[in-house]
Every structure is written in structure tokens, then in C-alpha cells.
Amino acid sequence: MNNTYVIGDIHGGLQALIQVLERAKVQVGDRLIFLGDYVDGWSVTPQLLDYLIELQKNYECIFLQGNHEEMVLKWLQNKEDNEIWRFHGGQMTVDVYEQLPIERRTPHIEFLSQLQDYYIDEDQRLYVHAGFTSQKGVAYEYFRGMFWWDRTLWETAMALDTTLTKDDERYPKRLLLYNEIFVGHTPTIRFGSTEPMHFANVWNVDTGAAFTGSLTIMNVRTKEFWQSDPLPRLYPKEKGRN
């Protein structure tokens, strides 16, 4: 049986992605679910996007959209230049692309334009970059941007009273809709953890690769996970988003 793996926020760290795929011994035909935020942070975003595009030839890849893809796509399409985005990692992306031939952007724009909002697998596991707010599920979300901006889902899971049972009317309805939920977006290093965190049925696998942390890949069935070297060690001459 082929394995399914979920990969946290990469933020331009191509070397980290190569490391975790090797350390997890990912095999041809395995399913790779990427939670978004491929761009902004380290200096090899264009090369990373090239690598992801090629990866589809040997693996079943599910590419979800993150908030950084929303912003970088608008910039690549000359639709919007966001100073806040530049401050939060986008400036490195701008600097790198401005050194490349303009035609390098075309396949990346096409790739970024086809990202999925969320993914639900055959075992009713939900994968989404950030979260959702609808009490009826992702198909009923009133504002699409919640999929890559919402933090309330993760905060709800973290704050859940562990004495509540699932049949208690106070139990968050969102958490009952899916057997498991995998998110990124909110780095676990903010809570003092360099590893994935788990509350209720929600797993957070963004382990801070944009900053001082590592990139994480997790087997969604066994929960075994592998991590890259800390990103500052892989890119010692750069600051990332630090």
C-alpha cells in the first residue's frame, strides 16, 4: 500500500524539502499533500517551484494554496504589490525574480493559479493551509480566503477543554466534521515546539521552516514524522523571515 504524507510550510527552502523526502524514504507512487506557503523566505523560491512542478511526474501530489501564494501570484501577474507582504518574506522573492528572465515566471504563474483550497481524503481527513469557520464544513465556507488566513480553527483545538466529550453540545462542531484535520500557517515554534503539535483531532505541521525551525513531513496514517536540518543551517548567509 502506498503511503500518504503531509508536508508543512516550506517558504522557499528547497534543500529542506529534498532532505525530508529522502529521510522519509518516499517512494514513487506515494501521495504527497503540500499544505501551502511554498514561497517567501529563503532565496530559492523559483527553483523550489520548478522542483514541485517536476515532482508531479513521479508522485501523486496535492498542492494546496497558502496565504503567501495569494500574494506572490498577484505580484507575478502585475496585479498588486503589497508592502506588508514584502516585509513578511516577499522581498526576497521579489529580489530573486528580478534577477531572472521574465519567461521563468510563466510556468510558476500557471502552477500557482491551479492550487487547491483544501483536500479531503478517502478517510475523511481534511487538509487545509490555515483553517475554516463554517460550522457545516469547508464546502460551506462563506469567504474563500479563510482557507489560507484563518487561525481560529487551530486556536479552538488548542483551547479545547479535554474533559468535554464529543456528544457534549459545547464541543466545537467544526472538529466533529472530519476524522482528522491537518493544517500549517501557524508555526509551532511560536508555542515553544520544534515538532508537530496535536490538539483534539487537529495536527499542525508548520514547524517554522520560514524562521529558525525545520521542515516537517508526516505519514498521515502512522504519525511518524521526519524533519530537515533547521533552515538557518541550510542557508547560513540568509535571514529567511527572521
The pLDDT tens digits for 7-18 are 999 999 999 999
pLDDT computed for residue 37 by the predictor? 97
Task: Indicate whether this model's pTM tops 0.95.
Answer: yes
Q: How confident is the model at residue 166 (pLDDT cuts 50, 70, 90)?
A: very high
Q: Give the 3-state DSSP-derived string for the chain, with helices as H, strands as E and coil as C.
A: CCCEEEECCCCCCHHHHHHHHHHCCCCCCCEEEECCCCCCCCCCHHHHHHHHHHHCCCCEEEEECCHHHHHHHHHHCCCCCCHHHHHHHHHHHHHHHCCCCHHHHHHHHHHHHCCECEEECCCCEEEECCCCCCCCCHHHCCCCCHHHHCCHHHHHHHHCCCCCCCCCCCCCHHHHCCCEEEECCCCHHHHCCCCCEEECCEEECCCCCCCCCCCEEEECCCCCEEECCCHHHHCCCCCCCC
pLDDT attached to residue 90: 92
Segment 62-72 mean pLDDT: 96
- What are the domain boundaries of the chain? 4-234
75-105: b or e for each residue (b if 16 or more CB lie within 10 Å)? bbeeeeeeeebbebbbebbbebbeeeeeeeb
Tell me which CATH code domain 4-234 carries.
Answer: 3.60.21.10
What's the pLDDT band for 82 if we cut at 50, 70, 90? confident
